[in-house]
Amino acid sequence: MLPSRKRFDDLTEREIVALAISSEEDDARIYRSYAERLRDDFPATAAIFEGMAAEEDEHRARLFELHRSRWGDTVPLIRREHVAGYYNRRPVWLIENLGVDRIRDEARAMEHQAEAFYLSAASRTSDAATRKLLGDLAAAEAGHQHRAADLTREHLSDDSRDEEAATERRQFILTWVQPGLAGLMDGSVSTLAPIFATAFATHDPWTTLLVGLAASVGAGISMGFTEAASDDGALSGRGSPMKRGIASGVMTTVGGLGHALPYLIPDFWTATVIAFIVVFAELWAIAWIQNRYMETPFFRAALQVVLGGALVLAAGILIGSG
């Protein structure tokens, strides 16, 4: 069976140059994709990536001129995925939604990989002009860190950096914290009544556990789908509906399971006391999150959450004991 990919050590000099041309073209497109993704919320960082894409275009033009002078205008079709052991780029769609700092880290990793490629390629060519150009490009990729710093100073002032940091924090809160907090509140508070009503009606930890599991998982699925379907994020700017649905659904389930799992303990009163402690911790955690991310005064948040939780808990106990 013939190998599906060619080994890097088996590439000819022409194929190495062709691979470099396609790689520079791909990197320029990746940088422009990042710039397009960031332009609305992070215009200064987008300008940095536009500048880096322009430099990749310049590298590609120099490589193409070298190819034209040695082998003509027709460049062999060879790309990263055609070469075994050659570095790959992560799909843009995997990176672009992870935040501006993650995108910057990915760009730095790209430059390190490109530098290593040019150093390896330069060591394998016998033509002086080709070796010099590949060596120059390796130095250029290594220098991109300094160039990126220059572009950062040029486009990313302290005010711009602060503004972008505030925008990123706001997006994080809208996409993850707000739906997750709503889910945690719903899971922690709304499941109190059915769980403790069952507990005090049956005094059976196993039955209480089953009801708690059903209530928590059911509420998590419901909240997750509701959050994802209620808003696609296009107009509200709240981000991906899938991310919001996951945050809301998971935190709803976690909130309910917190005071259901103590009923794994066979002794009813031991399990109930531990469940009470967990409920107390959950409600104070909700108040802390509201204070930390939503800027709600801590004692006001605590009063609202604890009062609401206490009313639901009391309702469940009274119904179960009736």
Phi-psi region of 89 (alpha: psi -120 to 50; beta: other; left: phi over 0): beta
Q: What is the pLDDT of residue 1?
A: 39
Q: What is the rounded average pLDDT of the residues 255-262?
A: 92
User: DSSP label at 1?
Assistant: -
Give Cα 162 distance to the centre of its chain. 21
Number of domains in the chain: 2
Judge if 34 and 17 occupy the same domain.
yes
**Contact between residue 48 and residue 150 where contact means Cβ atoms under 8 Å apart:** no
pLDDT tens profile 52-109: 889 889 999 999 999 999 999 999 988 888 887 676 776 766 565 656 767 777 777 7
pLDDT tens profile 57-73: 999 999 999 999 999 99
Q: Confirm whether pTM is higher than 0.75.
A: no
User: DSSP label at 90?
Assistant: P
Q: Residue 124 phi/psi, 5° resolution?
A: -105, 0
CA nearest 59: which of 121, 105, 126?
121
Which segment of 223-227, 231-235, 246-250 scores lowest on mean pLDDT?
231-235
Mean pLDDT, all residues of the chain: 82
Judge if 144 and 166 occupy the same domain.
no
Judge if 185 and 315 occupy the same domain.
yes
Q: What is the pLDDT of residue 71?
A: 92
Angle at 55 between CA 100 and CA 139, to 5 degrees: 100
Judge if 17 and 56 occupy the same domain.
yes
Domain boundary among 137, 156, 175: 156
Judge if 292 and 179 occupy the same domain.
yes
Judge if 136 and 181 occupy the same domain.
no
Q: Quote the domain boundaries for residue 184.
A: 162-321
CA nearest 259: which of 244, 243, 276, 247?
276
pLDDT tens profile 140-173: 777 765 555 555 555 555 565 666 666 667 777 7
Judge if 71 and 204 occupy the same domain.
no
Q: What is the pLDDT of residue 197?
A: 92
Q: What is the rounded average pLDDT of the residues 112-138?
A: 84
Helix axes 128-155, 100-123, angle to 10 degrees: 160
Q: What distance in Å separates the CA atoms of residue 200 and residue 134, rounded to the nearest whole number?
A: 77
What residues form DSSP beta bridges with 84? 7
Q: What is the CATH number of the domain that holds 152?
A: 1.20.1260.10
Judge if 150 and 269 occupy the same domain.
no
> Is 262 among the domain residues?
yes
Q: What is the rounded average pLDDT of the residues 3-26?
A: 85
> Is 1 among the domain residues?
no
Domain boundary among 156, 186, 210: 156
Distances (CA, A) of 309 to 126, 192, 223, 250, 303: 76, 8, 19, 20, 10
Angle at 30 between CA 26 and CA 31, to 5 degrees: 120
Judge if 46 and 136 occupy the same domain.
yes
Judge if 81 and 178 occupy the same domain.
no
**Contact between residue 146 and residue 108 where contact means Cβ atoms under 8 Å apart:** no
> Is 219 among the domain residues?
yes
Look at the alpha carbons of 109, 113, 115, 116 in this order and tell me if their dihedral is positive or negative. Answer: positive
> Is 312 among the domain residues?
yes
Domain boundary among 156, 180, 204: 156
